[in-house]
């Protein structure tokens, strides 16, 4: 999805304390770069230093320079500045914006905003939020929970018991992130974050009960809105004709947005306590991260004993 000025405004206006002053017809412009540009000499109109598709940040230096120009020259300077191929412009520091800049932005259909944040803070926060908007995203169906600090993605067909398993984990003191619709976001080459939709946040569907609000039922400590995904568990019905990993030495991976996540396949049957198995799977995952691999240790011991056993 392209990052348009309109998308940037909707996602960041409140945090950046921005308001649109002019150029509403240009909010469809595309932001081509997650870096911003401090306008500097570009405000003179005589220096074509504006990078195409970037957000221009104007601070006290630029506004003071503009206000010090002869009134008769200001409209031409402003018009030349907004003729450059920028995405939009933001005046920081809560500074007053000269009328000539507002008028030129409107004529050229360049969105012009003012922000109450100090210019340095505005640049820093804008860069951070653009990085989020430019990150790769996807949407999948499943349940996301936090177990012992680990983000666990529960996958499987509808009705297999993912939500019931998550509810059991929450009752045990673990945390809920999202049910059904999971929005994935790639942060860096190996980091995958998950969150729920704004509409269904904190809600879960349990067949027979309907829609329940986890936050209202169990309190704020029972939920978290965003979590790094470190383990994926695929749940399926037990198939007696299928061979399952009985030692735990298979290196399964689930790939989302080109990020490979450790994965387990867990078959379920009426006698199995799925929540307990998931909790133990997480504990085992944490042990592996510390270099303790029970299955491999057992196989190594078996090979050692086989070599040491007397012949015959």
Report pLDDT for 123: 96
160 in a structural domain: yes
Report pLDDT for 311: 64
Report pLDDT for 272: 74
Which residues belong to the active site?
141, 162, 180, 246
Contact 295, 285 (CB under 8 A): no
Number of helices and strands in the chain (H, E): 9, 14
196 and 276 co-located in one domain = yes
Q: What is the pTM of this model?
A: 0.62
Low-confidence ranges of the chain (pLDDT < 70): 1-2, 244-249, 271, 308-312
Of 134, 168, 195, which closes a domain? 134
**How many domains is the chain built from?**
2
211 and 161 co-located in one domain = yes
248 and 261 co-located in one domain = yes
Return the CATH number at 280.
Answer: 3.40.50.300
130 and 164 co-located in one domain = no
Residue 257's φ and ψ, nearest 5 degrees, are: 50, 40
Of 134, 158, 182, which closes a domain? 134
3-state secondary structure 250-311: CCCEEEECCEEEEEEEEEECCCCCHHHHHHHHHHHHHHHHCCCCHHHHHHHHHHHHHHHCCC
173 and 258 co-located in one domain = yes
The number of CA neighbours under 13 Å toward the Cβ of 70 is: 3
Return the CATH number at 107.
Answer: 3.40.1390.20
Question: How many Cβ atoms are within 10 Å of 24's Cβ, its own excluded?
Answer: 15
Of 101, 134, 167, which closes a domain? 134
147 and 291 co-located in one domain = yes
List the domain range (segments joined by +) for residue 44: 5-134
158 in a structural domain: yes
205 and 285 co-located in one domain = yes
Q: Each residue of 121-160: pLDDT tens digit?
A: 999 999 999 988 888 788 899 999 999 999 999 999 988 8
104 and 9 co-located in one domain = yes
184 and 275 co-located in one domain = yes
Report pLDDT for 166: 95
Q: Each residue of 12-44: pLDDT tens digit?
A: 999 999 999 999 999 999 999 889 999 998 898
Q: Where are the beta strands (DSSP E) in the chain?
A: 18-22, 36-38, 55-58, 88-91, 112-115, 137-147, 150-155, 175-186, 192-195, 203-206, 210-213, 227-237, 253-256, 259-268
161 in a structural domain: yes
Q: Is 50 helix (H, G, I), strand (E, B) or coil?
A: coil
106 and 43 co-located in one domain = yes
């Amino acid at each position: 999805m392209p990052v348009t000025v309109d998308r940037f405004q909707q996602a960041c206006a409140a945090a950046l304390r921005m308001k649109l002053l002019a150029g509403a017809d240009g909010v469809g412009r595309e932001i081509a770069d997650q870096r911003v540009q401090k306008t500097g000499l570009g405000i003179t109109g005589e220096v074509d230093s504006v990078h195409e598709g970037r957000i221009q940040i104007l601070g006290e230096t630029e506004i003071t320079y503009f206000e010090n120009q002869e009134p008769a020259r200001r409209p031409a300077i402003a018009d030349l500045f907004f003729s450059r191929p920028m995405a939009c412009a933001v005046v920081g520091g809560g500074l007053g914006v000269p009328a000539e800049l507002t008028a030129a932005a409107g004529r050229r259909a360049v969105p012009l905003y003012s922000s109450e944040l100090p210019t340095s803070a505005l640049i820093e926060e804008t860069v951070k939020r653009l990085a989020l908007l430019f990150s790769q995203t996807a949407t999948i169906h499943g349940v996301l929970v936090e177990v012992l600090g680990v983000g666990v993605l529960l996958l499987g067909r509808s009705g297999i018991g993912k939500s019931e398993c998550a509810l059991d984990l929450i009752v045990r003191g673990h945390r809920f992130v999202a049910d059904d619709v999971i929005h994935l976001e790639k942060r860096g080459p190996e980091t995958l974050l998950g969150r729920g939709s704004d509409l269904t946040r904190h809600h879960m569907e349990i067949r027979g009960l309907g829609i329940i609000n986890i936050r209202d039922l169990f309190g704020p400590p029972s939920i978290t809105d965003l979590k790094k995904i470190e383990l994926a568990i695929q749940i399926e019905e037990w198939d007696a004709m299928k061979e399952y990993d009985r030692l735990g030495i298979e290196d399964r991976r689930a790939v989302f947005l080109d990020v490979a996540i450790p994965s387990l396949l867990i078959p379920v049957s009426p006698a199995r306590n799925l929540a307990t198995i998931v909790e133990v799977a997480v504990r085992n995952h944490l042990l592996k991260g510390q270099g303790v691999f029970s299955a491999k240790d057992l196989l190594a011991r078996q090979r050692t004993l086989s070599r040491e056993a007397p012949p015959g």
